[in-house]
Structure 1
Amino acid sequence: METAQKVFVNQDGIAVIKCPVCEGVKTTKVDTFKGTRHVVRVKCTCQETFMVNLEFRKAYRKEIKLSGDYAHLPHKRPRGKMLVVNISKTGIGAQISGAHSIKEGHELQMTFNLDDRHHSLIDKKVVVRLVRKSYVGCEFIEPTSHDRALGFYLMV
């Protein structure tokens, strides 16, 4: 089974698809696929066919592995260790170490340092949107539009 190339779709429903063989690039409107199957077969002008996974996320998600801490709000208890596995300008995904009592809708404080040259501190209040065993997907409660360190980190 071939691996699908991940392609991000912008807010206008447009994706930039690059052929893995000839490296030809095509910009195409793909918003008709939103809400349906996101993995599609594409045929390039060079006749190569390949799979594309269309990502309709609001924000680019960067895969990372950074250790940190979390605490339940409002009392900062219970608390524990986590491994941040992805981050975007709107949220964070983390693997929780050990047993936990986190449920969807809980509010947490998540604290960790980026692996940028300044080791920038990220200390965010989040609401839990997804729990799958030890994985939690969270949305930032406060907007990150003014968080320069995170903005620069996501660009590189």
Structure 2
Amino acid sequence: MVSALLKNDGSALVVCPGCQRQFKIKAPEFEKIGNGYKVSGKCPCGESFIISFNRRRHPRLGLEVSGAYHHLKHDYRGLITVRNISLSGVGIELNTQRLMLAGDRVTIRFNLNDEDQTFIERKAVIRRKQRKTYFGLEFTAETTPQDPLFSYLAQP
């Protein structure tokens, strides 16, 4: 399955999983499409695939780096794996199960997997618990263009 980010103008960039060719598709009906809508696609190279459309303010980048967290209310500390990241938040998996709820505040620390192993420390709010140890977090402060995370996510 291929994931395509829908933009506000109804366009989306689709990359063929076979040949990596990029297609910009645009249709007026796409403007009404919500998250998770799926259609079939076929590339001139012959590859057929399913396209899953996604509407996000900031696209996610898949990642797998280790780090640490500190739950501010209960003073929990532990290890995490950062599974994905965007300008507005992260998806993390805890090393051990803990009682944490939507709305709780945490501080996370980890190094990016870039050449410099850039250190990131962010305060965040738990937005959703997706599995026993997997959480979606939203950063409490905006990521500015001067921030190393901004540069990391802007790389092609």
What is the TM-score of this pair, normalised by structure 2?
A: 0.83
Describe the shift of the 1:34–1:73 C-alpha distance in structure 2 as closer, same or farther (beyond 3 A): same
In the TM superposition, 1:64-103 aligns within 5 A as 64-73=63-72, 77-103=75-101
Question: Is 1:58 aligned to 2:57, yes or no?
Answer: yes
The answer to whether the 8 Å contact 2:108/2:122 transfers is: yes
Q: Is 94-103 or 48-57 further displaced after alignment?
A: 48-57
Task: List alignment gaps of at least 5 residues for structure 1.
Answer: none
Candidates 8, 11, 15, aligned match of 1:11: 8
Q: Distance in 1 between matches of 2:88 and 2:43?
A: 34
**How far has the Cα of 1:24 moved from its partner?**
7.0
Q: Distance in 2 between matches of 1:79 and 1:24?
A: 43
- Equivalent pairs counted in the alignment come to 151
Task: List alignment gaps of at least 5 residues for structure 2.
Answer: none
Q: Is 58-67 or 138-147 further displaced after alignment?
A: 138-147
Which residue does the alignment assign to 2:153?
154
The answer to whether the 8 Å contact 2:34/2:54 transfers is: no
Which residue type is aligned with residue 34 of structure 1? G
**How far has the Cα of 1:113 moved from its partner?**
1.0
What is the TM-score of this pair, normalised by structure 1?
A: 0.83
The answer to whether the 8 Å contact 2:69/2:109 transfers is: yes
Which residue type is aligned with residue 10 of structure 1? K
Which residue type is aligned with residue 150 of structure 1? L
Percent identical across equivalent pairs? Answer: 32
**How far has the Cα of 1:146 moved from its partner?**
3.9
